[in-house]
Amino acid sequence: MDNFNNKKSEEIFVEAQKYIPGGVNSPVRAFKSVGLNPIFVERAKGSRLFDVDGNEYIDFICSWGPLILGHSNEEVSKGIEEVLARGTSYGVPTAIEVEMAKLIVESYPSIDMVRMVNSGTEATMSALRVARGYTGRNKIIKFEGCYHGHADSLLVKSGSGTITFGVPTSPGVPEGTVKDTLVCTYNDMDSVRKVFEENPEDIAAVIVEPVGGNMGVVPAEKDFLQGLREITKEFGAVLIFDEVITGFRVAYGGAQEVYGIEPDMTCFGKIIGAGLPVGAYGGKKAIMEMVSPLGPVYQAGTLSGNPLAMYMGLRNLNILKNNPEIYSNLEEKAIKFEKAMNAVIEELDVEVTVIRFKAMLCTFFAKGTFRNFSEVMKCDTEKYAIFFREMLKNGVLFPPAQFEGLFLSAAHTNEDIDKTVEIFKNALKVAFNK
C-alpha cells in the first residue's frame, strides 16, 4: 500500500537513535531483520495497536506474551489507582505477595515455594544459581535455539561437533563464564545422554523451554521431555522448565500440565505480570529452601514483589483461573487461524509452514520438519521480511522477525482472524511473486 504513512515514527526514531543504542530498549523492536524502522506506539486496546501516525494494526505481538487477555484490559487493571495511591514500593513485605505465591503454588503441583523477581531473565539466572547451590555442581545443559533471557552464562551458541562446550554469542561474555554451559540439540535425547555420560558428576541442571518459543514455535516431543525427566533423575541433576512464555498460556497449568511431566523447578515471567515487569521461579521445597534468607544461596531485589505488578498479575491470573473457557476459546481461534492460513498456503502453493501448539502459532517460510534450531534455520528470512512489510502496511502487526511466535489474545475476534487471513494472502502473493 502506498498511502502508508509513518512520518512521526521516523522522526521519533531519528531522535531515539541519538540517545538510546539503536533507538530501542530491546533489540527485536528495531525491526532490523525485516528491513524497516520501528513504528512507535501511542496506545493499544484489545487486539488493536495504534501508532503515533494514527495507523491501526491487528496486533500479534501483544508485548511478546504477557497480554493473554489483550491490551489495556479493564478487568485486569480495575482498582490499580487505589493501589497506586497507597504507595508504589516499600522495601518491606506486603500481603499481596503472599497471595501471589499461594496462587502459583496451588496452580502448579511441582511447585512448593516460589520467589518473585522482576523479569524472566532474573528468574532463569536465579533458578540456575539455586540449582547449582543445591547440587554443589557447576555445569548446566541448555539447548540450541532455546532462549532464557540474557544472563551471561546463557548467552552461548554451540560450537562445532555434537558435544559442545559453550561459545559466547556476545562480546562481553567471558569464555570462563560459559565454559560450564553445555549446549545440546533440542528434541535429541542422544545428544543429552552423551553429555551426561561424559560429565556424570558435574551437571547441576538442565534448563529447557518445554515448547520452544524463541526459534519460532518448536514444540518438544513428549518422549524428549520424558527423557529429560528420567536422565536428570538418574544423574541427580535439577530439571528446570522455563515456562516464561508457556506458563499460564498453553494451559493454566503451563506446558507441564499439557505434557503431564513435572520439573523440579519452573521459571515464569510475561503473563504473571500482565504487562508489568515481573518474573518468578519456584520448585520443590528441598531446592527452594536453599534460597536466602532461609538458605545460603543469595538472591534479592529492591523492587521484587512490587505491589502494582503483584496487583495486576494476580488479577490476570485469577481471571484465567476462574474462566477456564478462555483457554479452549483461544485454542479454537488458533485452530481456525491455522486452518485458514493453511488453505491460503495450499492455494498459492508457497513454501510456508504453519506450526501450532495449543494457542501458540508461527509461520515458517520453508517446508519440512521443524524439530530443532538447525531445521528452523532453513527458513527464507528475506521472503519473510517482504511478507512482514506488506502485512504491516495493510494493518497487521506480525512479529518483526522470522524466528518469533505469534501471540493471540482473548481479545482477538473471529473478524480479526478473517481480516488477517485476507491480508496474509495478499502479502504472500507479494512475497512469492504470485
Ligand X SMILES: *Cc1c(COP(=O)(O)O)cnc(C)c1O
CA distance 365 to 216: 11
The residue type at 211: V
Q: Which is nearer to ligand X, 29 or 419 (CB)?
A: 29
Q: Which of residues 277-316 bind ligand X (CB under 6 A)?
A: 279
Q: Which residue is associated with the grid cell 500482565?
A: 274
Q: Which stretches does DSSP call E strand in 190-242?
A: 203-208, 211-212, 218-219, 238-242
Number of residues that bind ligand X (CB under 6 A): 15
Q: Which is nearer to ligand X, 55 or 256 (CB)?
A: 256
Closest CA to 119 of 6, 242, 207, 221: 242
Part in contact with ligand X (CB under 6 A); list of ranges 147-155, 175-183, 306-314, 361-369: 147-155
Q: In the annotation, is 147 catalytic?
A: yes
Among 244, 355, 386, 408, binds ligand X (CB under 6 A): 244
Q: Which of residues 35-64 bind ligand X (CB under 6 A)?
A: none
Half-sphere exposure of 342 (CA within 13 A, CB side): 12
Residue 147 lies near ligand X (rule: CB under 6 A): yes
Part in contact with ligand X (CB under 6 A); list of ranges 104-112, 115-123, 251-259, 328-336: 115-123
Task: Say which of 59, 242, 264, 416 is annotated catalytic.
Answer: 242
Residue 148 lies near ligand X (rule: CB under 6 A): yes
Q: Which is nearer to ligand X, 117 or 290 (CB)?
A: 117
Q: In the annotation, is 270 catalytic?
A: yes
Q: How far is the CB of 127 from ligand X (least distance, A)?
A: 11
Among 38, 120, 166, 168, binds ligand X (CB under 6 A): 120
Closest CA to 280 of 247, 231, 311: 247
Q: How far is CA 231 from CA 132, 187, 266, 284, 285, in A?
A: 17, 14, 18, 18, 21
Residue 209 lies near ligand X (rule: CB under 6 A): yes
Task: Using the CB atoms, write b or e for 54-79: b if 16+ within 10 Å.
Answer: ebebbbbbbbbbbbbbbbebeebbee
Q: In the annotation, is 434 catalytic?
A: no
Task: Say which of 139, 270, 358, 393 is annotated catalytic.
Answer: 270
Residue 121 lies near ligand X (rule: CB under 6 A): yes
Which helix (H) or strand (E) is 181 found in, with range?
A: strand 181-184
Closest residue to ligand X: CB criterion: 120
User: Phi and psi of 375, rounded to 5°?
Assistant: -70, -35
Q: Which is nearer to ligand X, 63 or 329 (CB)?
A: 63
Task: Say which of 57, 147, 259, 311 is annotated catalytic.
Answer: 147
Q: How far is CA 419 from CA 140, 229, 433, in A?
A: 45, 43, 21
Q: Which residues pair with 24 in a beta bridge?
A: none
Q: How far is the CB of 342 from ligand X (least distance, A)?
A: 26
Please report, as ranges, the residues that interact with ligand X according to CB under 6 A. Answer: 119-121, 124, 147-149, 209, 213-214, 242, 244-245, 269, 279
User: Hey, which residues are catalytic here?
Assistant: 147, 242, 270
